[in-house]
């Protein structure tokens, strides 16, 4: 595998000859449309009002996303209560950022510590369709062999490179860092959660979702989509910033 061309939003992993740019969109392979407004923590960020990434609401005034989504943005909008995210829906709340906080150890070359906080100008209006998700606490373990649920507006097939019109979801198996190394080599980081993209007869999740989108298991957010392989096939992986590795950092800012 040629690792020389790896850069921000672009990743090679073993078995994927072509880099896959996952920054502004991703692939929802093997996913399904979720019931409208059934994922109340799901959000989108619009960096500088024009870009697009997934995100989550973790506090009435705070969003969580991938650092590479917002590292060059002067501000972002956080979109909540969306199902058809590219349309204006009566359920949507669009809140501008007060500030964007990139993890201080974020590395745009290796995509380590690919996590960022969005501090909102004002709290969201909470309801049954807009509500924060708890983050995985520091001591919550590896989540290996747990089934997680990933949601996002990534595109639905290799032949249709546009955002899915509606929110999509998929169940994914979280694997250990050791197993992740088989597929991702040196890109398998201890502070990342890895999911394997093959599930029974269906290729799922290996390239699913927008960067910044949340992976949830056991009622808490465990991951933030960082990068994926270029091939949606057996052996493909999706790598997420491991939320419990960053819980102290997150809570320090939220509680400041």
* Token pair listed for 231: 């091939």
Give the whole-angstrom CA distance, residue 158 versus residue 232. Answer: 9
Quick check: 95 and 163 in contact, CB under 8 A? no
Give the whole-angstrom CA distance, residue 254 versus residue 256. Answer: 6
Name which of 46, 24, 17 is nearest 231 in CA terms.
Answer: 17
User: Is 114 noted as a catalytic residue in this protein?
Assistant: yes
Reduced to 3 states (helix: H, G, I; strand: E, B; else coil), residue 130 is coil
CA distances from residue 85 to 13, 34, 52, 79, 160 in whole angstroms, order as listed:
30, 13, 10, 8, 17
* Token pair listed for 3: 């690792």
Which one is catalytic: 211, 229, 236, 239? Answer: 211
Quick check: 172 and 42 in contact, CB under 8 A? no
Which one is catalytic: 68, 83, 103, 196? Answer: 68
Cross-strand bridge partners of residue 215:
150, 223
* Token pair listed for 221: 């957010």
Give the whole-angstrom CA distance, residue 37 versus residue 43. Answer: 11
Which one is catalytic: 114, 210, 213, 229? Answer: 114
Q: Is 212 left (phi over 0), alpha (psi -120 to 50) or beta?
A: left
Q: Which helix (H) or strand (E) holds 249?
A: helix 247-254
User: Is 68 noted as a catalytic residue in this protein?
Assistant: yes
Name which of 178, 186, 183, 190 is nearest 206 in CA terms.
Answer: 183
Active site residues: 68, 114, 211
């Amino acid at each position: 595998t040629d690792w020389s061309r790896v850069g921000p939003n672009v990743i090679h992993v073993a078995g994927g000859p072509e880099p896959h740019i996952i920054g502004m969109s991703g692939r929802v392979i093997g996913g399904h449309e979720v019931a409208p407004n059934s994922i109340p923590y799901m959000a989108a960020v619009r960096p500088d009002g024009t870009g697009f990434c997934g995100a989550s609401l973790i506090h009435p005034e705070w969003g969580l996303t991938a650092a590479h989504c917002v590292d060059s943005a002067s501000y972002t909008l956080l979109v909540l209560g969306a199902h058809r995210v590219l349309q204006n829906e009566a359920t949507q709340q669009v809140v501008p950022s007060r500030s964007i906080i990139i993890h201080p150890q974020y590395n745009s070359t290796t995509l380590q510590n690919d996590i960022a906080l969005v501090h909102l100008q004002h709290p969201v209006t909470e309801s049954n369709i807009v509500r924060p998700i708890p983050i995985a606490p520091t001591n919550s373990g590896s989540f290996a062999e747990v089934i997680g649920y990933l949601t996002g507006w990534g595109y639905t097939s290799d032949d249709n490179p546009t955002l899915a019109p509606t929110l999509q979801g998929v169940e994914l198996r979280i694997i250990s860092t050791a197993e992740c190394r088989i597929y991702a080599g040196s890109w398998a980081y201890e502070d990342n959660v890895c999911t394997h993209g093959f599930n029974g007869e269906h290729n799922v999740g290996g390239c699913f979702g927008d960067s910044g989108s949340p992976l949830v298991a056991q009622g808490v957010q465990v991951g933030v989509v960082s990068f994926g392989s270029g091939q949606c096939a057996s052996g493909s992986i999706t790598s997420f910033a491991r939320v419990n590795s960053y819980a102290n950092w997150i809570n320090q800012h939220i509680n400041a």
